[in-house]
Chain A
């Protein structure tokens, strides 16, 4: 168990280094000179030169990398080229809404997906199974933006039921809940399919396992057999697989935030890239990657703790 954890942590280090390197290289290979951009169109050559020195752009490249990592370690991600706002400040204000959106999407899609997968596995081969499987294939095939646009058009515009522009407030307020519903349905909607599919596979495996047959033979009720024996065992791989699908969710989140003007990291990232705000783009990419690595690590460790097979190895 400890060895597994140590291994995972060790693996996370080069990954983290890779993130830093990519972030750094991003600033190196961009076609625009950051100093010129920051100085603005009216700047003289001296102003640009002064800014170059200030940013350390005249140092040798390895030293720039060291400087950059040192700055990062202090939480200094630089300032936006566009408006001089510290990148860390903008990230700080956008990370909350992103987590909020993810939470609101997962809180309904995971239970629904698990329920659907279990039903499909239990009545395997039946009409219900087919419906569930068709639904989940459709779910992984539908573009997130299509779902979002349909909801905006129907629920937001035609029926005028719910807002679809931005965040209404914290999740514990009515406005906050109101505003998060459509984005959460959109993002969660594409997640139900994969969860149902994974659950189905896992439960089918679990149902055919030895101890489940024993439990049935003992005459335990079907509900108890499914809940206590099959589902509980199936949940371990399902939880892990859900964790590994976070990347998929992240992609959806970027699109969902953009469509619903949700003030999250994804929308910030897209905006920064489109406006060539390189420090901001770099900051968002580093934070998104780091977040993703941390989640992966937690899932990995959790998996190790839950699954005896991994524990032994």
Chain B
């Protein structure tokens, strides 16, 4: 970590991002993805659940730009709505897990006595791969979006805690924190005003990269039948349903799979570019 104390200003980050080709492309892609997800109900050509029984498993054509699935539903519409569900699942896990993880990280950095216990706890959580949380939660609560979100949140907590603690510790070593303490600034205020802003870039980079991973994991769980359940439009579940027709209508599973790939790729590229722009020495 650097000793930069001022929070990075947004315009400069943006400009630095745009300097890099990968950064520009990924930024545009991410903005497009977010916009599409937000506007899905308005831009979707039709209802994602409407079945056209006379147009089953059609390849892409003028009426159905991305073709239809096994039940004659418009894949384009399902992609648009599916994007929302997939993104929502990812964002929810990132926010729940991230907030808890960040609180733990700040506490560990600030209250040195709690550090050992907290980080050992995080180590324990870190000892389980995310997929195991997914399996366990699906076993307990039954397959569904909620199970996936809880599992991925839990898997995100220790990662975020480590990142935040690491960044916060650097700041903690600086004199002015001691000074602020000396003048009687409250703990909460100190963390909020001085620690948090200095960890923002790390949190930001980590979150972007993590969102990609979480989406990948969530879609894999849905693909296995442990996440979103049909008929809900979700990219992983769509790919799983389409797998049955792989040899007669490959587009049904290939299109949602490519969709996931593009989304995750966009977030990963953006994360890399952000890291290079904000702080190249960050090891995330």
Chains A and B touch (C-beta atoms under 8 A apart): yes
Residues in B with CB closer than 8 Å to A92 are none
Q: Which of A224-248 contact B (CB under 8 A)?
A: 246-248
Segment from B7-15, B60-68, B125-133 that makes contact with A:
B125-133
**Cα–Cα distance between A140 and B215 once the two chains are bound (Å):** 12
Query: A254 contacts B247, CB within 8 Å?
Result: no
Contact A11:B123 (CB < 8 A) given known A29-B140, A270-B225:
yes
Query: A270 contacts B226, CB within 8 Å?
Result: yes
Q: Which of B112-154 contact A (CB under 8 A)?
A: 120, 123-124, 127-132, 135-136, 138-140, 142-143
B246: CB under 8 A from chain A? Answer: yes
Q: Which of B207-266 contact A (CB under 8 A)?
A: 212-213, 216-217, 219-220, 223-226, 236, 239-240, 243, 246-247, 250, 253-254, 257-258, 260-261, 264-265
Query: A149 contacts B132, CB within 8 Å?
Result: no
Query: A273 contacts B129, CB within 8 Å?
Result: no
Query: A26 contacts B136, CB within 8 Å?
Result: yes
Contact A250:B131 (CB < 8 A) given known A30-B140, A143-B219, A282-B139:
yes
Give the most central of A141, A255, A269, A270: most B CB within 10 Å.
A141
- Distance from B272 Cβ to chain A, minimum over Cβ atoms (Å): 7
Query: B136 contacts A285, CB within 8 Å?
Result: yes
- Distance from A283 Cβ to chain B, minimum over Cβ atoms (Å): 11
Q: Which of B223, B246, B258 contacts A255 (CB 8 A)?
A: B223
A288: CB under 8 A from chain B? Answer: yes
Q: Which of B129, B139, B216, B247 contacts A153 (CB 8 A)?
A: B247
**Count of chain B residues with Cβ under 8 Å from any Cβ of A?**
44
Query: A26 contacts B212, CB within 8 Å?
Result: no
Q: Which of B120, B135, B219, B265 contacts A270 (CB 8 A)?
A: B135
A278: CB under 8 A from chain B? Answer: yes
B274: CB under 8 A from chain A? Answer: no
B58: CB under 8 A from chain A? Answer: no
Query: A143 contacts B135, CB within 8 Å?
Result: no
Query: A285 contacts B139, CB within 8 Å?
Result: yes
